[in-house]
Chains A and B, each alone.
Chain A
């Protein structure tokens, strides 16, 4: 149930860094011991991304050992 909040955080952090650009892809690293379920993040992502620079972006989630929750990278293009 906290995945929605996690996803909102992802969108907020990436939006902050993406000023003036459109985000086309985001890559997350989710620790298997982090108590965060990747499928739930995917479920929330499109909804949370609406109306932000992340709208329509592809979400990549890489599962890792450990507890870390990381936004690894984003792919951006300049807005027209």
Chain B
């Protein structure tokens, strides 16, 4: 997967095309029981526990040497900095007196992700596919909102869906139950989608011309803000059960977005949520944001969301 991420190795991200079938980074497909999407092989970059004496050789081609973190002696998710094999850690290995020179690099740290994102953007524009990156905390109701949207817009818009989660293909199955094509990306330990994952998912999904592509990112209000996928716009779903100050706590996400959907408004009678204050907070972080209040449960406000989608798609197809 990750061009960048410590959150998982090249072979670890899986795409599930239909229930149980997966396409791996190297292109191999196979089927196994639903809900079990695991990391094939021994991918670099993830933390894992094993109890050998550390005399092993890594043959990763991307990053020679010893790049991944270990937790030794079966202590899960703990990085042992003081272990015997790491005693060289922090030692100055440079040789005094040897000539040193400074090389200007001026290299963008996320340059590779950006490059792939721009390639995705061109690919999508070439086909008139409007891609929206849907972002929220876990449990804000992204999938429920999508399910309702897909059912209500059936016959009006052509839509395909890419689902991102750490594990399981539950969400993609929920989407397929509405009759819409969906690909599940499992990021393993990864906390966000990256541009190369979208690139591979696009190759599998092949969205139709002049259609809408909904990308449901991993539920996380922090990291996905940093990784451009090549989407046309980011849509943040902010549920009324979360507290009015969420935009102030996670300003990066809200400043990167185009539209905010304040969701689960049917619950308002049971909550002490001040919608006006929440929207003021949203606008204080990003005054250009458009805000819509919706409930996928009661359907309230959903027509404004559909109007926005239709208008964006019409505009996009006209200029693409």
Interface residues, chain A, with chain B CB atoms under 8 Å away: 1-2, 4-15, 17, 22, 24-25, 28, 33-36, 44, 46-48, 50-52, 55-56, 68-78, 80
Q: Which residues of B have CB within 8 Å of A22?
A: 93-94
Known: A9-B109, A50-B67. A2 touches B226 (CB 8 A): yes
State whether B95 touches A80 (Cβ < 8 A): yes
State whether B107 touches A13 (Cβ < 8 A): yes
Bin the interface of chain B by size: 35 or more
State whether A47 touches B101 (Cβ < 8 A): no
Q: Which residues of A have CB within 8 Å of B3?
A: 9
State the CA gap A13–B2 with chains docked (Å): 14
A–B complex contacts, Cβ < 8 Å, 28 sampled: A1-B7, A2-B223, A2-B226, A4-B6, A5-B2, A5-B5, A5-B6, A6-B4, A6-B109, A7-B6, A8-B63, A9-B109, A9-B112, A11-B63, A13-B111, A24-B94, A24-B100, A46-B89, A47-B81, A70-B107, A71-B109, A73-B102, A74-B103, A75-B100, A76-B101, A77-B100, A80-B95, A80-B98
State whether B222 touches A9 (Cβ < 8 A): no
The A interface, classified by DSSP as helix, strand, loop or mixed, is mixed
Q: Which residues of B have CB within 8 Å of A9?
A: 3-4, 109-110, 112
Interface residues, chain B, with chain A CB atoms under 8 Å away: 2-7, 45, 62-67, 69, 79, 81, 86, 88-95, 98-112, 191-192, 222-223, 225-226, 252
Known: A50-B65, A52-B65, A70-B108. A8 touches B93 (CB 8 A): no
